[in-house]
Amino acid sequence: MNPTLRVHHLCESSRSNGPGDRAVLWLQGCTFACPGCYNPQTHSLQGGRPVEIVSLLDWFLGLTKTGLTISGGEPMLQAEPLNMFLSLIRVNLPDASILLFSGFTRAEICADPQKESVARCCDVLITGRYQAEQRLAHSLLGSANKEIHCLTSRHTPEEIAQTPVSEILIDSEGNITLTGIDPLKW
């Protein structure tokens, strides 16, 4: 059986989910249930759909993007298959920028070898549970307690701060996605 990731949504092109024009992979499943979370539809552990890692790799390699953002849900709940996927990206596209959002703190990630392996594949790690009472919504930080960790020299905090806070995406089938750290609401 081929390893899979439980996927909520794929986006081929975004400018509000990290520096530059990048693809976004929203993973399904989160146990934090932070009050005020913008993506509660990603919380169910049974939601989304399983997608083989090789299919996700083919999808990303077929794009002309220089970066990939992983969001959710909570990506670190799928640390083992996510590490496999990101390791394959590093082998096939070593210059690709990888940014990951996690509700876990950096200390919690470092304490778990599987989560730390995922972090080692990333250029930027944004950590901490969303806290509505500390809402910030800029520089890719949903709340003031969250932290940006530039793990490589590929991106700077200044570059991350210039990321647009929201965008409206319309795909070829007319589906609309509202995204970013401060997306519009219907």
Residue-wise pLDDT tens digits, 165-182 = 999 988 888 988 888 988
Question: Contact, 30 vs 77, CB < 8 A?
Answer: yes
Helix H or strand E segment including 161: helix 157-161
Q: Has residue 101 been placed in a domain?
A: yes
Residues contacting residue 25 through CB under 8 Å, at least 6 positions apart: 5, 7, 10, 11, 56, 68, 69, 70, 71
Residue-wise pLDDT tens digits, 102-123 = 999 999 999 999 999 999 999 9
Q: Has residue 184 been placed in a domain?
A: no
Q: Has residue 147 been placed in a domain?
A: yes
Q: Has residue 140 been placed in a domain?
A: yes
pLDDT at 178: 87
pLDDT confidence band for 129 (50 / 70 / 90): very high
Residue-wise pLDDT tens digits, 75-100 = 999 999 999 999 999 999 999 999 99
- Domain extent at residue 33: 4-179
CATH number of residue 78's parent domain: 3.20.20.70
Q: Has residue 186 been placed in a domain?
A: no
Residue-wise pLDDT tens digits, 52-74 = 999 999 999 999 888 999 999 99
Q: Has residue 185 been placed in a domain?
A: no
How far apart are the C-alpha atoms of 116 and 119, rounded to whole Å?
A: 5
